[in-house]
Structure formats: C-alpha cells, structure tokens
Amino acid sequence: MTEKILITGANGFTGKHACHYFSKKGMKVIAAVRRDNNICNHSVKQAVCDLTKKNEIELLLRKEKPYYILHLAGQNDVSKSWNHPHLTMETNAFATLHLLDAVRQENFPCKIIVVTSALQYDMKIDKYPPHPYSLSKSVQSIISESWSEFFNLEIIIAKPNNLIGPGDSNGVCSLIAKKIVDYENNKSKDPIVINDSSIHRDFLDVRDAVKAYDYLFQRGKRNEIYNVASGKSQSLGDLIYIYRELSNTNFPVSIKKSSKEISPVQVDISKLKALGWSPRIPFRTSLQDILDYYRKKAVKK
Amino acid sequence: MTEKILITGANGFTGKHACHYFSKKGMKVIAAVRRDNNICNHSVKQAVCDLTKKNEIELLLRKEKPYYILHLAGQNDVSKSWNHPHLTMETNAFATLHLLDAVRQENFPCKIIVVTSALQYDMKIDKYPPHPYSLSKSVQSIISESWSEFFNLEIIIAKPNNLIGPGDSNGVCSLIAKKIVDYENNKSKDPIVINDSSIHRDFLDVRDAVKAYDYLFQRGKRNEIYNVASGKSQSLGDLIYIYRELSNTNFPVSIKKSSKEISPVQVDISKLKALGWSPRIPFRTSLQDILDYYRKKAVKK
C-alpha cells in the first residue's frame, strides 16, 4: 500500500520541493493549494482547499485520511504582516487550529509536522513580538503544542531558519540572484544594495530541509520542537563574494554599512542531527542553483 | 454629549451587571449579544452581533463608534472547553482579534478593556496550559497585548478571579446557593458535595468588578494587565459555614476531604488599588444576595 502524504502550501517555495521529494520517494502526494494551480501528475494529486475555512479542511481530511501531513501553508512575508495583520493571524494561526482540530475530530492515525518559524518570539524573554508575523507563528506553535498535549496527537514542530534554493522565493539569496541575472541580461544597471554586509544568517538549502521533514516523520518525537537549519553562520558579505565568483559579470554592489562587530548566528541543530540527518548541500551549490534557476526563467520569458 | 460604551457578552453574568452599572451612570450602552434577548430599555440598546464573524463586528463598530468597549464575551466554562476546544478558541481568542482588528481598521478614538482570566497559564513557567480554556484566554491576552503594542491601541487587560454575586453563574458560590434553595423548598434532599473543603479561592463581588472596570477606563494605563480580585483568600469550608448562617435550614453537606495543608491564594491587587479602587461588598453580603437571587427565582417558577 502506498503511503499517503498531505502537503499544505504545496504551491509555495518549500511546498513544490516537498511534493517533488515525497512523490519521487514513491508516496501518494495530496497537494493542498488555495487556488487551482494545475499541479497534478501521476503521483501528485491536487486538492483545492482554503485552510481558513474549517469545513473545507474537514472534508478534505475525511476524504483522504493521509497518514502524513506536512503543514507548510502560511503567509510568510514579514512586511506584508504589518499591512495585513489579521490575514496573517488567520492564515498562520487559525488555519493551523482548523487543521489540527479536524484531525482530532476525524480521529484517524496521522503524523503531522507543523512548520513554524525561527522568527517566533521567545515568550519567556520578550514582552512583545517584533511584528505580527512573529506573533502569528508563536501562536501557531503554542496551539500546536497544546493540541498535541491535550488530545494526544502525533504533532512535531519544525522551526526552519532561512531556506534557500531554486524556485521563487522572497529570501535575500533569491532577491540578489534575480538582480544579478537582470544585470547579466542587461536589464538593469542598478547596484545591489546591501544595508549591512556584516549581518549574519543561517542558510539551509530547501532540499535539505525537506529531507529533514522526512527524518522527522520517521524518527521525530511527538510534541518536540526541532530547529531546521545548517548550523552555519554566513554573512551577507560572504553571499556577495560567492555570487561574484559564480557570475560572469562584475555586477555593482552598494554596501551601506559594514559593522566591525560580527555577530554570527548559532542555531542548535543537535536534536535533528541525533535523528541521523545532516545538511548535505553546500552553500555555494545552493547559490549556483538559485542563479541557474533565474537564468533559465529569464530565457523562458 | 452622552458617552457611549459597547459591552460585549452583555447578556452574561458580568455583562448584565455592567449594562446596569454604566446605564445608571448615564452612559449610552450598546449591549452586544449573539442572539436577540430583548434587553433594550431607555438607556440600553441591544445589538445582535456574532463576534466570531469579523464582518459583523466591523459593521457594528462602523455604525456605533463607541468611545469605550468592555469586551466580556466568551466561552467561560472550563469543562465545556474539553468538549468544544475549537469553539472555545474561536469565541475567546479569534473573536477578540476580530474586535481589536476592526477597531484598528475603523480607526476611531476608543478605549478597550479586554477581560481575560486568572486561569491563563504562565508561559514563562508552564510548558502547557492545563485545559483549552486556559490556552484560549492566554492567546486572547497575547493577541491583545500585541495589537495594543503594534498599532498603538488603547487596550487595557483585566484579569478577573472568581466573580460572584446575584445572577445566573456557574461559579461554585452560585451552584451551592441553588442547591440550598432547592433544599429550603423541599425540592431536593441530596447533600451538597464538597470535594475538598480546604481549597481556597479569591472571590470578588461582580459589582465591585464592574466598578473596577470603570476605574480602568478612567485611570488605567494602556497595555497594562490588572488583576481584578478581592485580595482575600476564602476556603470552601468558610463558604459553607457562612451559607449555614444565612440559610433557615440545616442543609446536608458531604465533605469528601479536608486537607490539613491550607494553601491560601494571594492575588496581588495593588495595581488596581493604586488607581483608587478597592472592593466594597463583603463576602457575606455577596452570598446573601446570591441566596436571595435564587430564592426569588424559585418563587417565580
């Protein structure tokens, strides 16, 4: 019997990679999307479902009863969360509750990964979250932890950092690559503006992240929170340096500031590593693949 | 110009007292209720509004633009929260967000008291909330604090303990009074069962609580959290003792256990007292009024 996985946010950056990965693994993928995206193929079945409507997710679960659920759907844009705070809460926090409560009600065996965010705030330390996006992901997390605890649901929480790789993304690596490709194609001569080249981030290839979600399904512990990251700190300066090596052009960069104090990020990924997972794709390869993605896209236009 | 106050949950235990208090004070009261309860009079105007529907609360606010909002509406039954956890979250947490976000969008001058609960869990200490009700009130609180902080809204958080007094309530003082009145009227001979007479609670008369809300509207600080309580600890044994004195009958009581270790509750009400408020109604008077309320109700039947 083929194992069935429901992937929400299947048309998003991570969602597309996840559909590809799990279908290639031989699983039956139900790709939940808000609008018809025509993403069916022999092993991926599209399911149009507005997760902010509880009855829609109930109907879908009753029909499909997937053994795995990878809940990726969400509004992931921090600046959009300022203009659309209610929508952000609804999409990230309430929709997650609708999903988890539908699982509780339908009462079928099921393992769920709820993908939250490294941008959550620490309620033990910070009085307020820095933005509505952070609040929405924190509320998503405490609802998920509570529903797992109250109703004995198999919920695992994955907390990814900056996921990068080929595909449409609003992350900094993609935004810069797009500009480089525009420059390579003589479409723009504007410099790439970096506010502070000493800012550090933990970047992880999205394909490594998807593999981490697979490890969590197989070996993760119920109601544990797992950081999904590379464990390595890269500065925006490093990023530009590598892109320079990978591009054929000498694209202009305007660095507004480069602080002397370097504050690397240190994300603890020991819990995930203890399950046997480790990141495989080097940072340079991710950047190469991102550039190639946008180069191909530019040719298609 | 008469000041206008919107009271949500106007038909609830505290809501009825609040409508009475603020209308008596000469304010124009808009009593928001989920279903038509026919509670209009010369100074109270009923507004039927399902707060779980954002568009309904938006329409109401656009029309009324109240200067004060006392947000009491909610699902306040802990045991019901186990059977209806989603409804509890929706009614307590999501509806509050709908209300606060409607205030943000409509953008009129407005002071809001969000009434949360002493049964919230302390996210700094406890890993999980004890029940869905606790989660719902904690999420209500962090949403309220965040919306106040993000959008500079005049939100004050009131955290009441056990409110008691005349009126229909599921609190322990009311439940016992109902049974005493049944006994007085020869309707029941069953003993009143007390699981542990040494359990302590902080009881505050609901009329003192409503007065506290008025103090908070006038003098409370934006985005502060105020405990609303008597500051006194009473055991369930004390409660039975006083009820025995107030009743004409020798109603039977079955006390299952009386722990030797007494653990009084100590609620810090100094922040509210610093505004000039203090509880006025003695515990005994509250209990007398509760008994009288149920006695009158029994006569009417």
Tens digit of each residue's pLDDT, chain B (301 residues): 579 999 999 999 999 999 999 999 999 999 999 987 766 666 799 999 999 999 999 999 999 999 999 999 999 999 999 999 999 999 999 999 999 999 999 999 999 999 999 999 988 889 999 999 999 999 999 999 999 999 999 999 999 999 999 999 999 999 999 999 999 999 999 999 998 888 999 999 999 999 999 999 999 999 999 999 999 999 999 999 999 999 988 999 998 887 777 788 999 999 999 999 999 999 999 999 999 999 999 988 7
Question: Which residues in chain B are closer than 8 Å to A97, comparing Cβ atoms?
Answer: 86, 89
How far CA A8 is from CA of A31, A32, A100, A118, A138, in Å, comes to 6, 5, 13, 19, 19
Q: Which CATH number fits domain A4-160: 3.30.465.10, 3.40.50.150, 3.40.50.720, 3.40.50.80?
A: 3.40.50.720
pLDDT for the residue B1: 59
**CATH code of the domain occupying A172-201+232-265+281-300:** 3.90.25.10
Is-contact A131 A78, C-beta < 8 A? Answer: yes
pLDDT for the residue B262: 75
Q: Could you report the per-residue pLDDT of A155-190, keeping only the tens digit for each?
A: 999 999 999 999 999 999 999 999 999 999 999 999
Is-contact A219 A275, C-beta < 8 A? Answer: yes
Rounded to an integer, the average pLDDT of A54-68 is 97
pLDDT for the residue B124: 87
The SS3 call for residue A236 is helix
Q: B33 forms bridges with which residues in the sheet?
A: B48
Q: Is A156 on the interface with B (CB under 8 A)?
A: no
Packing angle of the helix pair A172-184, A236-246 (nearest 10 deg): 30
pLDDT for the residue A39: 66
Q: In B62-93, which positions are buried (b, 16+ CB within 10 angstroms) versus exposed (e)?
A: eebebbbbbbbbbbbebeebeeebbbbbbbbb
Q: Is A106 on the interface with B (CB under 8 A)?
A: no
Q: Is A110 on the interface with B (CB under 8 A)?
A: no
Q: Is A94 on the interface with B (CB under 8 A)?
A: yes
**In which band, very low, low, confident or very high, does the pLDDT at A41 lie, cut at 50, 70 and 90?**
low
Structure-derived torsion over alpha carbons of residues B238, B244, B246, B247, reported in degrees to the nearest 10 = 150
Is-contact A198 A235, C-beta < 8 A? Answer: yes
Question: Which residues in chain B are closer than 8 Å to A88, comparing Cβ atoms?
Answer: none
Question: For B151, which residue in chain A has the nearest alpha carbon?
Answer: A82
pLDDT for the residue B257: 82
Residues whose CB falls within 8 Å of the CB of residue B265, separated by 6 or more in sequence, listed in order: B161, B200, B201, B202, B233
Structure tokens at A32: 């939940």
Note the ipTM here.
0.93
How are beta strands A234-235 and A200-201 bridged, if at all?
Answer: antiparallel
* CA distance linking residue B288 with residue B243, whole number of Å: 8
Q: Is A131 on the interface with B (CB under 8 A)?
A: yes
Residues whose CB falls within 8 Å of the CB of residue A8, separated by 6 or more in sequence, listed in order: A15, A32, A49, A51, A69, A70, A71, A72, A73, A99
Mean pLDDT lowest among A137-141, A245-249, B256-260: B256-260
Domains B4-160 and B172-201+232-265+281-300 share a fold: no
Rounded to an integer, the average pLDDT of A39-62 is 90
Q: B160 forms bridges with which residues in the sheet?
A: B228
- What count of CB pairs under 8 Å joins A to B? 62
Question: Which residues in chain B are closer than 8 Å to A149, comparing Cβ atoms?
Answer: 128
* All structural domains of chain A with their residue ranges: 4-160, 172-201+232-265+281-300
